[in-house]
Copies of this chain bind each other. A is one copy, B any other.
Amino acid sequence: MENFKYYNPTKVLFGNDVLDHLCPEITAYGSKALLVIGKTSVKTSGLYARVVSLMNICGISHYTYEGIKANPLYQDADEAVALAKEKQVDMIIAIGGGSVIDTAKAIAMGFYVNHSVWDFYLQKAAKPTQALPLFTILTLAATGTEMNSGTVLQNNETGKKLGYSAPCLFPKVSFLDPSLTLTVPPNQTAYGVSDLISHALEQFFGKGESPLSDLYTAAVIKLAVQYGIQAIENPSNYEAREQIMWLATNALNGTLKAGKNAGDWGVHDYEHTLSVLFDIAHGAGLSILYPAWLKHHQPGINSKLAFLAKNVFDVDDSDQTTAANFFIQKLAQFYTQIGTPTKLSEVDILPTEKNKILDNLKTNKVNGSVYKLTEVDYEAILELMW
């Protein structure tokens, strides 16, 4: 194993009763909260009204910043920071999926500085030493941001989507109620499953050998396949929803990284180009990219893929190449089965966009930390996605 640090102070409350614990968990942190939400769904579902009602019961004043996009923009975070400063709030409560929570993390650190939050992501600003206390109420199982210190935002003007992390960005408490995801539509559900599987794979292909992390990773993917199918077949299946929610959290809370030190993250970096250029869902981009990336790197990763074939799909083939082929095919079939795309044509990105994509990849120096990507790799992987 690589020498490593493991630290995750976020408290997770998980289950269908967790909002009952909202007041006791937050009141010690102050009396004024900024609620951060997306466009419409938390209002139409009644969740926003329920949280507002709880705020009144807790005796907490609240202001709301609404309108965070699915691919969240740094400008929205900057605007929300201005509101948080004007109202001098004591805490942030993010109600939504990964985009809302990632934006809330930006607001939390932006509160204490006098520059755009985007400077953090550009690595132009000093590392933040403090952030407003952040609480999350998760409505979409996917990114894992509810239990880590990472955030991803984008800048449409420059075509950049960038990640950032700092220890002060761990949420204080995350409220994970699977029943809030029962109404997530099938495509969003599938994108979430694709996202969590990709997080597991990025770490699996990271630096270092960690037998426990590898078995944990296979366990996460195995159950994501099993319960992903169940959640698509029957969206109101609570058991499937709770499994997927906890799997998504596990996929990026440090559990799969111990002894690996760093994930590869080349696929994510590549996907950011697709999201930023064509505004496709992150999970859709990932389910298109991963089979292609695996195929491209296959000769060097056959033994790793054979391990996954055995521990995810229970297929033990003495020939590693056969087993590796099987895993890649089976993964792509699964994506198709749950309705997330595996080809660019399915999201209306045509071969005429080739140069635009390659230019963005070059401009952003897209790369993985272990499996290095050259311009030749960019194009070879792209060809496998048409």
Contacts and interface: CB of A to CB of B under 8 A. Distances in A.
A385 interface: no
A15 B243 CA distance: 32
A202 interface: no
A5 B9 contact: no
Interface in A209-244: 211-212, 215-216, 219-220, 222-223, 226, 239, 242-243
Contacts of A242: 1
What number of copies of this chain does the assembly contain? 2
Contact of A246 (B10, B219, B243, B259): B259
Contact of A223 (B2, B14, B17, B211): B211
A183 interface: no
Nearest to A11: B7
A278 interface: no
A9 to B, nearest CB: 4
Contact of A215 (B4, B15, B219, B246): B219
A6 B12 contact: yes
Contacts of A239: 1
Given A3-B17, A16-B3, A212 B250 contact: yes
| Majority secondary structure of chain A interface residues (helix, strand, loop or mixed) | mixed
Contacts of A15: 1-4
Q: Which of A1, A10, A18, A258 has the most CB of B within 10 A?
A: A1
Nearest to A255: B255
A246 B212 contact: yes
A68 to B, nearest CB: 26
Interface string A47-59: 0000000000000
A258 B13 CA distance: 10
A8 B147 CA distance: 12
Given A5-B12, A14-B258, 11 more contacts: A1-B246, A3-B14, A3-B16, A3-B18, A5-B11, A14-B259, A212-B243, A212-B247, A215-B222, A216-B219, A246-B259
21 contacts: A1-B15, A1-B242, A3-B17, A3-B18, A4-B15, A5-B11, A5-B12, A5-B14, A6-B11, A6-B12, A8-B8, A9-B9, A14-B258, A212-B220, A212-B223, A212-B243, A212-B247, A215-B215, A216-B216, A219-B219, A246-B258
